[in-house]
Structure 1
Amino acid sequence: MNICVFLSSADLAERYTGPAREFAELLGKGGHTLVWGGSDVGLMKVVADGVEQAGGRLVGISVEFLASKTRETADEMVIARDLAERKALLLGKADAVVIMVGGTGTLDEATEILELKKHGRTAMPVVLLNTAGFYDGLKEQFLRMENEGFLPVPLTDLVFFAEDAVGALAHLEEGAGVR
């Protein structure tokens, strides 16, 4: 399965890098392919390292202004013209999406895939890995949107909130019929 991971390129504390590394190792050992932003810095590097060391494939989609930070050992690297093209290429190569901790770019990517799901433009599973409760506030906001009628479909049809790496990958594999 090609699993697109949206996440930060910042250097982060162990409470975030540890669970990300665990997910990456599970992804690689499971024979899956990481589709990610292609950067070889910060949390993106941690995840790419984990997948690569566990025998998984790496497909990076970077953007021209970040091309100097790409991972040289990726199995495939595509350089997009801009962020919009990058997102389209990332989603185009993905069978599923996992959203890890991140900033505004990650939030932008997350809301785009959820909007596509809301409108029936994609059926791929989306998992939000809620490491160290990072997305508790966002989950609360989504639940409010659902309860007050802003979501035309149940939140559970849009995204699965996983509290750990094992739960995140298990949800994706169960949905894809992978054992």
Structure 2
Amino acid sequence: MNICVFLSASDLPDRYTRPAREFAELLGKGGHALVWGGSDTGLMKVVADGVQEAGGRLVGVSVEFLAAKARKGADEMVIAKDLPERKGLLMRKADAIVIMVGGTGTLDEATEILELKKHGHTDKPVVLLNTAGFYDGLKEQFHRMEDEGFLTRPLAELVFFAEEPAVALAYLEEALGNR
């Protein structure tokens, strides 16, 4: 599988890096490819290192203004002209999406894929990896949106919430038949 991971490029504490590294190692050992923002900094670097060291492939999509931070030695690296093009390329190259901890860029990517899925423009499985309860508030907001009629599809059809890396990958492998 080509698994796109939306996540931060910031340096983060162990409570976030350890589970991200665990997911990356599981992904690599499973023979899957990481599709990510291409950065060789912060949490993006942690995940890319873990996948590569465990034998997985790296497919990066950076953007012109961040090209200097793009990882050298990725199996594939594309440089997009801007953030919208980058986001589109990341989604097209992926069989599935995992949302890890991140800031406004990650939140933008997460809500766009869910909006596309809500309207039937993609059927790719989406997992929100809720490391250390990072997305508890967002999860609550999504449930409120569902309860109050703002979602045209059940939340469970849009996103799977996982608390642990192994649960996230198991869900994706089952959803896609471990291809």
Please say whether Structure 1 and Structure 2 have the same fold, judged by a TM-score greater than 0.5. yes
Looking at structure 2, the residues matched to 175 and 92 of structure 1 have their Cα atoms a distance apart, in angstroms, of 18
Residue 82 of structure 2 corresponds to 82
* Corresponding residue for residue 6 of structure 1: 6
Structure 1 residue 142, shift from structure 2 partner: 0.2
What is the match of residue 133 of structure 1?
Answer: 133
Query: Partner amino acid for 2:168?
Result: A
The Cα offsets for residues 98-147 of structure 1, whole Å up to 9 and x where unpaired, read as: 00000000000000000000000000000000000000000000000000
Which position in structure 2 is the counterpart of 1:120? 120
Structure 2, unmatched stretches of 5+, are: none
Q: Paired residue for 2:147?
A: 147
RMSD of aligned residue pairs (Cα, Å): 0.7
Q: Secondary structure at the match of 2:94?
A: coil
SS in 2 for 1:92: helix
Pair 1:73-2:73 in alignment: yes
Separation (CA, whole Å) in 2 of partners of 1:174 and 1:86:
28
1:23-172 superposed matches below 5 A: 23-172=23-172
Shift of 1:34: 0.2
Please state how far the C-alpha of 1:177 moved relative to its aligned partner: 1.2
Distance in 1 separating the partners of 2:166 and 2:94: 20
Unaligned runs of 5+ in 1: none
Aligned partners of 1:178 and 1:161: how far apart in 2? Answer: 19
Query: What is the CA–CA distance in structure 1 between the aligned matches of 2:112 and 2:62, rounded to whole Å?
Result: 18
Q: Once the 2 structures are TM-superposed, how far is the Cα of residue 59 of structure 1 from its aligned partner?
A: 0.3
* CA distance in 2 between partners of 1:73 and 1:56 (Å): 13
State the SS of the aligned residue for 2:39: coil
- Deviation per CA, 1:55-99, whole angstroms, max 9, x where unpaired? 000000000000000000100000000000000000010000000
Tell me the distance in 1 between the aligned counterparts of 2:176 and 2:110. 20
Shift of 1:178: 1.6
Misfit runs of 4+, over 3 Å: none
* Identical-residue share of aligned pairs (%): 79
